[in-house]
Structure 1
Amino acid sequence: MAVKGLGKVDQQYDGKDVKVGILHARWNNKVIDALVAGAIQKLKEFNVREENIVVESVPGAYELPYGTKKMFEKHGVDVVIPIGCLIKGSTMHFEYICEAVSTQLMQLQFQLDKPVIFGLLTCLTEEQALLRAGVLPGMHNHGEDWGACAVEMVLKWK
């Protein structure tokens, strides 16, 4: 049995009235800068006005959940895209931060009843991160996906 529309956007979305917060960690800035740029580019393609895109930063990925909550409070945005990049090192730090941040971002959207887009890359190598940010050839910029997702999640459930 075939499922219709699997993997396709089910309708066109016009984000002209959507207010988006982008909150990014400052670690791995080559990757982060590309992801933020990709998200903004896609938001504009969905007609989100530049004045409706608020960009803030936090020191690292661990601060993304709290910063996300504050973005909603401070800026009155409809959706937040927290963007971070964790790259595995030689200690358990990677696993602890990935789990804590992922869990809290998921819980936060239910607590606030607002969409929080999962913009956290969890990579085993720097090369994987650069690929997913579209810095190296071979993959597209995942920030673009997050921008499109933000507009859809706001407008679909309004």
Structure 2
Amino acid sequence: MATSLKNLSDYTSDHFVDISEKRFGLVVAEWNREITDTLAQGAFDTLLKHGAKPENIFRNTVPGSFELTLGAQLLAQHEEIDAVICLGVVIQGETKHDDYICHAVASGITNVSLKFNKPVIFGLVTTNTLEQAWDRAGGKHGNKGVEGAVAAIHMLGF
């Protein structure tokens, strides 16, 4: 979680496992695409930085954040995929849609992770404004995609 005290892109890699033979799925929402593309690039670059091979990183797109759960399940069901990173953006609007979407995605991603017994990472940016979303997509709070990749690497060490 990004706060004034924590940047999403700050982490230590001291206990990272070797991911050179690991396969990663990225599920990226198309809604707010400029932001989600930035998140996906952050995740991709971080995986490469720590030893993943480009050919072992698979990106699938889904229409919006609500569809991240099914997108994750479609990747996670493949035995050769070791971890899935879900990336999307939900910005609060005039209605309560953001509450419903965020809750459904959080529950769905948790269920997929438990069903397939592998890391399925919640990389959903949930903000009040577009500016706050950009702050978490490489802005003053770092990049949630980087945080998602780091979480996936950490979880592969269990």
TM-score bin (small chain): 0.7 to 0.9
Q: Which runs of 5+ in 2 are unaligned?
A: 1-10
Q: Shift in Å at residue 8 of structure 1?
A: 4.8
Aligned with residue 149 of structure 2, among 137, 147, 150? 147
CA distances 1:91-133 after superposition (whole Å, capped 9, x unpaired): 1111111111111111221121111111111111101100000
Partner of 2:41: 37
Runs (4+) off by over 6 Å? none
Aligned with residue 81 of structure 2, among 54, 63, 77? 77
Partner of 1:124: 128
SS in 2 for 1:145: helix
Q: Shift in Å at residue 14 of structure 1?
A: 2.2
* Contact residue 46 and residue 148 of structure 1 kept, 8 A: no
Q: Shift in Å at residue 84 of structure 1?
A: 0.6
- Under a length normalisation based on structure 1, what TM-score does the superposition of the two structures give? 0.88
- Letter of the 1:141 counterpart: N
- Under a length normalisation based on structure 2, what TM-score does the superposition of the two structures give? 0.88
Q: Which has the higher strand share?
A: 2
Size of the alignment, in residue pairs? 148
* Alpha-carbon distance change, 131 to 88 in structure 1, aligned in 2, over 3 angstroms: same
Identity %: 35
Map 1:87-106; keep pairs closer than 5 Å.
Answer: 87-106=91-110
Structure of greater Rg: 1
Q: Shift in Å at residue 74 of structure 1?
A: 4.9
Q: Shift in Å at residue 35 of structure 1?
A: 0.3
| C-alpha distance in structure 2 between counterparts of 1:130 and 1:124, whole Å | 11
Aligned with residue 53 of structure 1, among 33, 43, 57? 57
Is 2:29 aligned against 1:25?
yes
* Alpha-carbon distance change, 37 to 115 in structure 1, aligned in 2, over 3 angstroms: same
Q: Which runs of 5+ in 1 are unaligned?
A: 1-6
Partner of 2:115: 111
- Letter of the 1:114 counterpart: K
